């Protein structure tokens, strides 16, 4: 994290401006369906902890996102425990770290009904294009940037594709990456932290 607190009220704004594609996908689905499966909740939940959403605000956030699709009783019994667990307040009291790109790319591979994972690696080419076009107005289908992204995906350089999205959505040139040395994306929380820093600069 970068030391700043994010409240439940702020998540939507931060998501739209700063989330990396994997988390934007999860957040948009949660918003649409009022539901996420276990590994998707874990991926998004630990990421949100990493951006500075405290436990009490996480409880408010998830309760609100499930909305009327879930009773308070069910939420308190089945979901609150898992949220607290992710913050090390239950069970073995582990300090679970937000997942890196490497972990997201290689561990707990999503099935066809799942929404967790990395869009560059786990979406079909068609679905990836649809997702990118509907999420990022800066991209269009026949642009050189889109070609760069799809070429990187074809050669399995998913983090390069993700870095290209960062550049395009932050008005940066190809190769500028996340920072002065052309750093590529290796962690979703680096993506979001860097994006938020750039807004403050
Ligand atoms: Fe998320 Fe990493 Fe994939 Fe980017 S490369 S979408 S940050 S998992």
Cβ of 192 closer than 6 Å to ligand 1, yes or no, is no
Spell out the residues 6+ positions from residue 186 whose beta carbon is closer than 8 angstroms to its own. 100, 101, 102, 159
The Cα–Cα gap between 19 and 51 comes to 10
**2, pLDDT greater than 80:** no
Do the domain assignments include residue 170?
A: yes
Do the domain assignments include residue 33?
A: yes
Do the domain assignments include residue 95?
A: no
* Residue whose CA lies nearest to ligand 1 atom number 4: 162
* Residue 174 structure tokens: 């190809």
What's the gap between Cα 177 and its chain centre?
18
Give the residue-averaged pLDDT of 93-101. 90
Give 71 Cα–ligand 1 centroid separation in angstroms.
Answer: 33
Domain end, chosen from 86, 112, 144, is at: 86
Do the domain assignments include residue 184?
A: yes
Report ipTM (2 d.p.).
Answer: 0.99
Same domain, 75 and 110: no
Domain end, chosen from 39, 61, 86, is at: 86
Residue whose C-alpha is closest to residue 161's, from 125, 137, 201: 125
Residue whose C-alpha is closest to residue 82's, from 54, 41, 50, 28: 41
* Residue whose CA lies nearest to ligand 1 atom number 1: 22
Q: Which structural domain range is residue 109 located in?
A: 101-200
Same domain, 78 and 123: no
**97, pLDDT greater than 50:** yes
Cβ of 164 closer than 6 Å to ligand 1, yes or no, is no
Same domain, 108 and 151: yes
**141, pLDDT greater than 70:** yes
Candidate of 24, 43, 100, 104 to mutate for ligand 1, largest count of ligand atoms within 8 Å of Cβ: 104
The model's confidence at residue 3, banded by pLDDT at 50, 70 and 90, is low
What pLDDT is stored for residue 183 in this prediction?
A: 95
Q: Which pLDDT tens digit goes with each residue over 32-76?
A: 999 999 999 999 999 999 999 999 999 999 999 999 889 999 999
Same domain, 81 and 107: no
Same domain, 193 and 106: yes
* Residue whose CA lies nearest to ligand 1 atom number 5: 159
Same domain, 79 and 108: no
Do the domain assignments include residue 94?
A: no
Same domain, 118 and 81: no
Domain end, chosen from 29, 61, 86, is at: 86
Same domain, 82 and 110: no
Give the residue-averaged pLDDT of 102-116. 92
* Total structural domains within the chain: 2
Do the domain assignments include residue 96?
A: no
């Amino acid at each position: 994290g970068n030391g700043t607190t994010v409240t439940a009220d702020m998540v939507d704004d931060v998501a739209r401006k700063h989330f990396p594609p994997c988390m934007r996908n999860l957040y948009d689905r949660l918003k649409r369906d009022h539901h996420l499966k276990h590994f998707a909740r874990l991926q998004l939940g630990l990421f949100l902890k990493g951006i500075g959403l405290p436990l009490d605000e996480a409880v408010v956030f998830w309760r609100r996102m499930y909305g009327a699709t879930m009773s308070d009783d069910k939420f308190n019994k089945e979901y609150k425990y898992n949220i607290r667990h992710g913050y090390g307040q239950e069970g073995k009291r582990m300090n679970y770290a937000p997942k890196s790109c490497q972990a997201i790319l290689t561990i707990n591979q999503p099935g066809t009904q799942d929404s967790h994972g990395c869009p560059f690696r786990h979406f079909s080419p068609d679905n990836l294009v649809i997702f990118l076009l509907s999420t990022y107005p800066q991209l269009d289908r026949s642009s050189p940037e889109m070609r760069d992204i799809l070429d990187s995906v074809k050669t399995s350089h998913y983090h390069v594709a993700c870095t290209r999205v960062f550049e395009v959505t932050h008005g940066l040139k190809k190769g500028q990456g996340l920072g002065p040395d052309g750093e590529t994306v290796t962690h979703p929380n680096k993506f979001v932290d860097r994006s938020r820093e750039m807004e403050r600069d």
